[in-house]
A and B are shown apart, each in its own frame.
Chain A
Amino acid sequence: MPFRPPIAKALSALFGGSEVRDRADRLQYPDAGHGFDQFGMHPDFVALGDTIGKGLYDNYFRVKSYGYENIPTDGAAVIACNHSGTIPVDGMMLWVDILRHTNPPRAARPIADYFVSTLPIVSTLFARCGVVGGSKGNARALLDAGQLLMIFPEGTPGIGKPFSERYMLQDWRKGHCELAIRHKAPVVPVGIVGAEEQMPQLARIPMPRGSALPYIPVPATLVPLPVRYHIHYGQPLRFDLEYSSEEADDPAIVTEAAARVKAAVQALLDRGLEMREGIFK
Chain B
Amino acid sequence: MISVLVTGASTPVGERLVRSLVADTRVRHVVAVGEEPEGQALPFSHGTRLTYVNVDLTRPRRVHELLFGLARELEVEGVVHLAQHRDAYGRGRGVHRANVEALRSILDLADRHPTIRRVVLKSYGEVYRVSIDLPVLVTEDHPLNLAPGAPQYVRDRVEADLTACARMGLIDCEIVVLRCAEALGPGTGSQLYDYLSTRLCLRPAGFDPMINVATPGDLVVAMERATHGSGEGVFNIPGFDTLPLSETIRKWGTRSAPVPGLLLEPMYNVRHAVTGSRFSYGLNRHRMHTGLVLDGTRAREVLSYTPANPVNWPVDGPVRIGVDT
Q: Are B325 and A38 in contact (CB under 8 A)?
A: yes
Q: Are B210 and A117 in contact (CB under 8 A)?
A: no
Report A-chain residues with C-beta under 8 Å of the C-beta of B322. Answer: 31-34
A1-B208, A124-B206 known; A39 vs B241 contact (CB < 8 Å): no
In the complex, A32→B324 CA distance in Å? 7
CB distance from B208 to the nearest CB of A (A): 5
Give the interface segment out of B11-19, B41-49, B159-167, B287-295.
B287-295
B298 interfacial by beta-carbon distance below 8 Å:
no
A118 interfacial by beta-carbon distance below 8 Å:
yes
Closest to B316 in A: A34
Q: How many residues of A contact B (CB 8 A)?
A: 30
Q: Are B319 and A123 in contact (CB under 8 A)?
A: no
A141 interfacial by beta-carbon distance below 8 Å:
yes
* Chain B interface residue number, banded: 35 or more
Contact of B241 among A31, A34, A122, A133 (CB under 8 A): A34
Report B-chain residues with C-beta under 8 Å of the C-beta of A138. Answer: 135-137
Q: Are A38 and B206 in contact (CB under 8 A)?
A: no
Report A-chain residues with C-beta under 8 Å of the C-beta of B105. Answer: none
Q: Are A124 and B210 in contact (CB under 8 A)?
A: no
A132 interfacial by beta-carbon distance below 8 Å:
yes
In the complex, A250→B167 CA distance in Å? 34
Q: Are A123 and B325 in contact (CB under 8 A)?
A: no
Report A-chain residues with C-beta under 8 Å of the C-beta of B310. Answer: 33
B242 interfacial by beta-carbon distance below 8 Å:
yes
Closest to B322 in A: A33
B133 interfacial by beta-carbon distance below 8 Å:
yes
Interface of B is mostly: loop
Closest to B241 in A: A33
Residue in A30, A121, A133, A138 whose Cβ sees the most chain B Cβ within 10 Å: A133
In the complex, A127→B323 CA distance in Å? 20
Q: Are A36 and B243 in contact (CB under 8 A)?
A: yes
Q: Are B137 and A141 in contact (CB under 8 A)?
A: yes
A39-B137, A141-B137 known; A120 vs B323 contact (CB < 8 Å): no
Binary flags per residue of A226-257, CB closer than 8 Å to B gives 1, else 0: 00000000000000000000000000000000
B321 interfacial by beta-carbon distance below 8 Å:
yes
Q: Known A-B contacts: A31-B322, A127-B210. Give 11 more (CB < 8 A).
A: A1-B246, A32-B242, A36-B244, A36-B247, A39-B210, A117-B290, A120-B206, A124-B207, A133-B133, A135-B133, A137-B137
Q: Which residues of A contact B (CB under 8 A)?
A: 1-2, 4, 30-34, 36, 38-40, 114, 117-124, 127, 132-133, 135-138, 140-141
17 contacts between A and B (CB under 8 A): A31-B322, A34-B241, A34-B322, A36-B210, A36-B242, A40-B210, A118-B132, A120-B205, A120-B206, A123-B207, A124-B207, A127-B208, A127-B210, A132-B136, A133-B135, A135-B135, A136-B135
